Amino acid sequence: MENIRKVLSTDELIEPSSADYHQESQVWSAHKDLHPQLVVRPKTVEALSQVLKVLNDSNVDFNIRGGGCGSASSSGVLISMSAFDGFEFNKEEEYVVVGAGQLWRHIDAKMEEFAPGYSVPGARCTYIGVGGGTLQGGVSWMSSEYGLTSDPQNMLDAQVVLMDGSVVWASSDPDLLWALRGGGGRFGAVTAFKLRAYKYPKTVYSGMILFPREALDVLAQKVPEFEASNTDPKIAMHFYCLDMTNGAFVGKPSVPGLGLLVYDAYGEDHGRKAFKWALDIPGATDTTQALSYRQVNQLNDSIELSRGKTNQMMTGVVIPAITEDLIRRTWKWFDETLIMEPKLNAGTFVLIELMQKEAFNTVKSRADTGWPRSKGRHILQFGCGALKGCSEELQKVATERLAAGAREILDEYSVGDCLPRDFEEFHDPVEMFGENVERLRSVKKRVDPKDRLKGAYAL
């Protein structure tokens, strides 16, 4: 503590009794909160450099926290990156340099204000951290057209403070830049990203179309038909299973409903024609409208209310196609999970994200980025968990059900098809990063030789 106090100012130290402690240390999944003894919030690159050097030379447990959508925590010191909130837009060369400690809601707002008519492939939920979201791949509504946030054409560079305190732009170290592109982070503290900005429509068509659960049969037929016919990268869709009452939070059983979150960057007139098949399904409730790109990403903001209230775990799997059988198996897993243990309604959901093949295939080979890209097209995402403070036995059931999910739903499944943003105890990191593991370890050993920032693939 004394050594840390020597290199940081008083207002960069956040004790457990401080008013900012909860906000700067909160995790998404409550059971992963290690209740750090101290949170430090360096305000400059120089201060971050000095505190990393101090911690690297100590035996104190520490970790680095971005936006808090993940579950980075520590029993010792937690470094909050939230002070790194810069933003610069270069219109001539069409890129932005953004502070890595921000949430994507901050970037969406700044793009709208300072770079009107441009967007970056960031995230589809505003509460996701820029740092963690980018380093673990990064999927946005623009990904079907321009690829993942961390792809070489989008993530042009990153400023990194290494464990010895040195500060580099990763472009000066090609292996490091390669590793940062989806390799899971853990190679230092990224303070800023240089990202490609694209000219993009100011107004898009989006919103939820809600259905009663009885519409599953017709949706199980119509959604695959739409997937087969839609090849336009400016049109996308999410297919949700929704708890219509948020039952777990009001002490009631779940009442599952269905929802399509639709997206058409050509605007409302085009979108209403593209999704007429869904709007015409009996029982449909239409909440769609013309929105800005920022407003579209805000549609999921209500989900943030569950942050820190559940022991939720998640898996996202890249899949080649959406079929009626896939949809039925997905909802069967959901139903059987809640029949087996109704208390899991707090954190159990299913979601199928319809995308185009360009999202995961804009790189030439699996060796082009730290995370070897899957050759699939869409994302099957599902989660499981119970309310915060649940019993160990209930948590074990949740873990087992989530681990079994992909194998129950898919005929062919590999952890190598899982998104690195959702890393749980049953995900084999060697399988997830495949043939890139040894090169990632080599970079890790060079920039973090003591393995203080413990990554998935241990040295």
Question: How many independent structural domains does the chain possess?
Answer: 3
Q: Which of 381, 308, 317 is nearest to 346 (CA)?
A: 308
How far is the C-alpha of 253 from the C-alpha of 363, rounded, in Å?
Answer: 45
Residue 70 lies in a domain: yes
pLDDT bracket for residue 444 (50, 70, 90): very high
Mean pLDDT of the chain, nearest integer: 93
Q: What is the CATH number of the domain that holds 116?
A: 3.30.465.10
pLDDT given for residue 249 in this prediction = 56
What pTM was estimated for this model as a whole?
A: 0.94
pLDDT given for residue 225 in this prediction = 97
Residue 343 lies in a domain: yes
Out of 29, 59, 80, pick the residue that ends a domain.
Answer: 80
Residue 354's H or E segment, with its range, is strand 349-354
Tell me, yes or no, whether 50 and 145 share the same domain. Answer: no
CB 257 within 8 A of CB 244: yes
Residue 301 identity (one-letter amino acid): D
CB 78 within 8 A of CB 38: yes
Residue positions counted in the chain: 459
Tell me, yes or no, whether 107 and 20 share the same domain. Answer: no
Q: How do 87-90 and 95-99 pair as beta strands?
A: antiparallel
The residue range of the domain holding 354 is 203-430
pLDDT bracket for residue 373 (50, 70, 90): confident
Over residues 326-359, the pLDDT tens digits come to 999 999 999 999 999 999 988 999 999 999 988 9
How far is the C-alpha of 172 from the C-alpha of 161, rounded, in Å?
Answer: 13
Q: How do 95-99 and 118-119 pair as beta strands?
A: unpaired
Over residues 255-286, the pLDDT tens digits come to 778 999 999 999 999 999 999 999 999 999 99
Residue 455 identity (one-letter amino acid): G
How far is the C-alpha of 170 from the C-alpha of 347, rounded, in Å?
Answer: 38
For the cut 80, the answer to whether the pLDDT of residue 245 exceeds it is no
How far is the C-alpha of 411 from the C-alpha of 122, rounded, in Å?
Answer: 31
Least confident of 36-45, 49-58, 447-456: 447-456
CB 258 within 8 A of CB 213: yes
Tell me, yes or no, whether 172 and 284 share the same domain. Answer: no
CB 429 within 8 A of CB 372: no
Tell me, yes or no, whether 58 and 98 share the same domain. Answer: no
Residue 173 lies in a domain: yes
Over residues 399-428, the pLDDT tens digits come to 999 999 999 999 999 999 999 888 888 889
